[in-house]
Amino acid sequence: MNGHIVLLPGDGVGPEVIAVCRPVLEAVGRRFGHTFSFEEAPVGGHALETLGVPLPEETVARCRAADAVLLGAVGGPQWDENPAHLRPEAGLLRLRAALELYANLRPAVLYPCLQAASPLKPEVSGGAFDILIVRELTGGLYYGARGRTEAGAGFDTMVYSEREVVRVGRRAFALARARRGRLTSVDKANVLDTSRLWRAVMHRLRAEYPDVAYEDMLVDNAAMQLVRRPGAFDVLVTENMFGDILSDEAGAITGSIGLLPSASLGEGYFGLYEPVHGSAPDIAGRDRANPVAAVLSCALMLRHTFGLPREAECVASAVLSAMTGPRKTADLAGPADTPVGTRAFGALIAEALTS
């Protein structure tokens, strides 16, 4: 199998974690007889500084011509005062829309070997859990009309169509069917009309998936239940902003947001893969970032774009093997562990792949 991947290192720790991914994918290729080719393109603050825009058209064209895209991170405080269209995040939002990537898959797994890193007590976490959050990615507040008025008010508009809810809802039901058969739809239907539309559409869809146990849950309750009984969840599906917030909360209870990968998918096999964490400017360039989320994003790429579940499982197993050892990145290291840097931990993962 041959695959072409566009690397978008981006800003902050993005280039550091992406640098770990390439040798991991090359190790997978050597072990299983695949060939992956790579090219880099600018996005985010790096693109702003070098080309004056957060998403150059050339980057979009390269991404469309590739099999998959692997993104590091975008953003940084030096661009916080820029107009909205000249912020690094604007490039990422536009890229998702340009590539029609409407379903964002965000797994959150608490591994038994990292129970001590989780802020939850073992009797609450159950010692381990495996949750998948499916976030609608190209609608809602992040894409609605926005602005400031002369009277000094600001506004952001949340809009959803039935089509947008149907396509992400069907994706979530199918994913739940392939896992443990439970789907929780998260909304704010007691207040928002968009959520009432969301709930009505999801209720129609559940008739197509009678084998999936379905429940509705208000977003504030979902946020509470994630820290009270995370093991009760299998797949959660929700709109853009709720999914953004809940997946960060899910990352916190696994022990580190540096563990969370993501896959942004459309109708076909193409996907954009990225760690959930941000650019972490406070540790950028210091070899302290946890590369696990980026590497596990590669595992999602192998599974969803390239159709290589065995290879994806091998990458996930290599990550688990590395995390089980005494050497860990600073965000996970306990009193008995030896802290190691980004590059060294990436080497441990690559070594586990070849052993």
Which CATH number does the domain housing residue 250 bear? 3.40.718.10
Total Cβ atoms within 10 A of residue 283? 17
Domain final residue, candidates 229, 254, 279: 254
pLDDT band for position 354 (50/70/90)? confident
Tokens of 97: 């829309």
Answer whether residue 112 is part of any domain: no
66 pLDDT higher than 80: yes
For residues 330-355, give the mean pLDDT: 91
Share of the chain above pLDDT 90, in %: 92
Indicate if 96 and 188 belong to the same structural domain. Answer: no
Residue the block writes with tokens 């981006």: 10
Answer whether residue 110 is part of any domain: no
Indicate if 240 and 271 belong to the same structural domain. Answer: no
152 pLDDT higher than 80: yes
Whether 248 sits among the annotated catalytic residues: the reply is yes
- Of the residues 102, 111, 142, 273, only one is catalytic, namely 142
pLDDT at 94: 95
Domain that holds residue 344: 1-103+258-355
Answer whether residue 78 is part of any domain: yes
Indicate if 272 and 342 belong to the same structural domain. Answer: yes
- Of the residues 188, 216, 287, 337, only one is catalytic, namely 188
- Of the residues 156, 193, 220, 282, only one is catalytic, namely 220
Indicate if 243 and 264 belong to the same structural domain. Answer: no
Paired with 73 in beta bridges are: 10
Say what angle helices 292-304 and 14-32 make with each other, to 10 degrees: 50
Answer whether residue 108 is part of any domain: no
pLDDT at 315: 97
Residue the block writes with tokens 């022990």: 255
pLDDT at 239: 98
Indicate if 210 and 124 belong to the same structural domain. Answer: yes
Whether 130 sits among the annotated catalytic residues: the reply is no
Indicate if 141 and 19 belong to the same structural domain. Answer: no
- State how far the alpha carbon of 70 is from the alpha carbons of 107, 176, 227, 228, 275, in Å: 17, 25, 30, 34, 9
pLDDT at 117: 86
Share of the chain above pLDDT 70, in %: 100
116 pLDDT higher than 90: no
337 pLDDT higher than 90: no
pLDDT-wise least confident of 112-116, 242-246, 286-290: 112-116
Indicate if 248 and 265 belong to the same structural domain. Answer: no
Q: Per the structure, how many domains does the chain have?
A: 2
pLDDT at 297: 98
Residue in 21, 35, 131, 145 with CA at minimum distance from that of residue 73: 21
Answer whether residue 317 is part of any domain: yes
Answer whether residue 109 is part of any domain: no
- Of the residues 244, 273, 328, 331, only one is catalytic, namely 244
Whether 328 sits among the annotated catalytic residues: the reply is no
80 pLDDT higher than 90: yes
